């Protein structure tokens, strides 16, 4: 981590402004000025391999020409109209999302993951309204965003610290434990919400039998099954949605579909956009006036997201995400086998992986960055790999070489 004392004059010129004018809600380091693909350069001219991807956002890496061209063309046409009018980019993007989800549904556009989850919470309340049901069962160690409801949905105490009192209706159950989820359901429960792969808590995939069991449980109890796909969706696992990949690997799940899905992060390839897919049979719960946002689905952001979909399809990035994920996992597994004293676990699917280490994750993350590799810490013991979906064999190999070198050094 760059501390003020070690910062160069160039860095200090930026950091000093943050120290005076930006609210201190992040532990930050390094000043970045430019990126290309999976590479990024700081203000001192130092190059890094970016395997954090802006926290699973930069699906095509930095400065991708397809996003640039789509946005430049849209900038010359129409940037924003509000949702009082129809625009073609929003219509085409909704069609894409429904097609890739593989079940009939409708899309609402917003600007972030937390906002997408807010609509899921309101969806649950609408669904349960007549029956006096308004609560959600969510999973321990989950993450659902930083809005007031999002922090109460999140299964981690630390995000709620001194933001009480709690919002009514949110209860938490252990992830991948169907019996515990069933036991947590109360007469107030309207929905169950889970990530397909828990991201912030260190890349923990849902088991196929858990997902199928939740679907059955929700059907039996009249509850909505909601998926937070903000981090694990958008082709990161080699399929559009992580559950499609998880169920495919388990040899089934063709007919599985949740009732609602929250998306954001990689959706716009770096441009802020979120979306919620709602199963067609529930679409009637919403009418004009029941939900809204000024910016959501603005043509500029939709043009960027359409460019991401087109590029993923055209360049076979679903296959690449799988291939690079296997390459990464096999290299990390070799390291774990050689140094079980340092690497305790390796987990992941596609371009979404983590190592659990016996050292402090924040400090190790700083050492990796010093060595030229950006990862994302999860808690105190895990480091996440969330690279662009178009990384190359050489970049994956370089990242693994740096990890092996740093983790086998003293520490
Ligand atoms: C990042 C994230 C969110 C919050 O998204 P924001 O765009 O930061 O509001 C919600 N859920 C999951 C699973 C996430 O990873």
pLDDT averaged over consecutive 10-residue blocks of the chain (411 residues)? 71 97 96 98 98 98 98 98 98 98 98 98 98 98 98 97 96 98 98 98 97 98 98 98 97 89 98 98 98 98 98 98 98 97 97 98 97 96 98 98 91 49
CA 372/CA 51 separation, integer angstroms: 10
Substitution site in 145, 175, 261 for ligand 1 pocket (most atoms within 8 Å of beta carbon): 145
- DSSP letter for 201, please: T
Q: Could you tell me the distance, in angstroms and rounded to a whole number, from the CA of residue 204 to the centre of ligand 1? A: 15
Can you give the pLDDT at residue 410?
57
- DSSP letter for 399, please: H
Q: Catalytic residue at 143?
A: yes
Substitution site in 198, 200, 205 for ligand 1 pocket (most atoms within 8 Å of beta carbon): 200
List beta partners, residue 378: 382
Active-site pick, 42, 50, 228, 259? 228
- DSSP letter for 10, please: H
H and E: helices and strands count for the chain: 13, 17
Q: Could you tell me the distance, in angstroms and rounded to a whole number, from the CA of residue 144 to the centre of ligand 1? A: 6
Can you give the pLDDT at residue 255?
86
Can you give the pLDDT at residue 169?
96
Q: Catalytic residue at 96?
A: no
DSSP string, 49-118: EE-SHHHHT-TT-BS-HHHHHHHHHHHHH-S---TTS--HHHHHHHHHHHHHHTS-EEEEEESSHHHHHH
8 Å CB contact between 68 and 243: no
Q: Catalytic residue at 134?
A: no
CA atoms within 13 A on the CB side of 74: 23
Can you give the pLDDT at residue 384?
98
Can you give the pLDDT at residue 6?
81
Residue of the CA atom closest to atom 6 of ligand 1: 113
Can you give the pLDDT at residue 306?
98
8 Å CB contact between 389 and 322: no
CB 228 near ligand 1, within 6 Å? yes
């Amino acid at each position: 981590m760059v501390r003020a004392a070690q910062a160069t004059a160039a860095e200090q010129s930026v950091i000093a402004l943050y120290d005076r004018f930006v609210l201190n809600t992040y532990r930050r380091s390094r000043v970045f000025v430019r990126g290309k693909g999976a590479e990024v350069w700081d203000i001192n001219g130092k190059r890094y391999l970016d395997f954090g991807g802006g926290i699973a956002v930069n699906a095509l890496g930095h400065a991708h020409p397809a996003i640039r061209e789509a946005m430049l063309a849209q900038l010359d046409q129409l940037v924003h109209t509000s949702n009082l009018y129809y625009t073609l980019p929003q219509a085409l993007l909704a069609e894409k999302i429904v097609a890739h989800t593989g079940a009939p549904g409708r899309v609402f556009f917003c600007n972030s993951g937390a906002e997408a989850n807010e609509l899921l919470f309101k969806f649950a309340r609408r669904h349960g309204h007549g029956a006096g049901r308004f609560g959600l069962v969510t999973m321990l160690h989950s993450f659902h965003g930083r809005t007031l409801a999002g922090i109460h949905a999140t299964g981690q105490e630390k995000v709620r610290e001194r933001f009480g009192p709690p919002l009514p209706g949110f209860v938490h159950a252990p992830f991948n434990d169907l019996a515990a989820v069933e036991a947590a359901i109360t007469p107030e429960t309207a929905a169950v919400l889970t990530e397909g792969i828990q991201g912030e808590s260190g890349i923990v995939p849902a088991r196929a039998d858990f997902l199928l069991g939740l679907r059955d449980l929700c059907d039996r109890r009249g509850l909505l099954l909601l998926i937070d796909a903000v981090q694990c969706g958008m082709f990161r696992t080699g399929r559009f949605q992580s559950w499609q990949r998880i169920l495919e690997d388990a040899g089934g799940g063709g007919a599985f579909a949740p009732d609602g899905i929250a998306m954001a992060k990689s959706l716009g390839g770096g441009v802020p956009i979120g979306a919620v897919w709602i199963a067609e049979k529930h679409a009637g719960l919403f009418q004009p006036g029941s939900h809204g946002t000024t910016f959501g689905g603005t043509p500029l952001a939709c043009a960027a997201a359409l460019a991401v979909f087109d590029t993923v399809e055209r360049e076979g990035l679903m296959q690449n995400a799988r291939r690079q994920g296997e390459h990464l996992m096999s290299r990390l597994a070799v390291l774990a086998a050689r140094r079980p004293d340092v690497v305790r676990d390796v987990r992941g699917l596609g371009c979404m992986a983590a190592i659990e280490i016996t050292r402090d994750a924040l400090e190790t993350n700083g050492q990796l960055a010093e060595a030229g590799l950006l990862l994302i810490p999860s808690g105190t013991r895990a480091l996440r790999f969330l690279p662009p979906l178009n990384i190359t064999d050489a970049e994956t190999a370089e990242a693994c070489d740096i990890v092996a070198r740093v983790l086998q050094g003293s520490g």
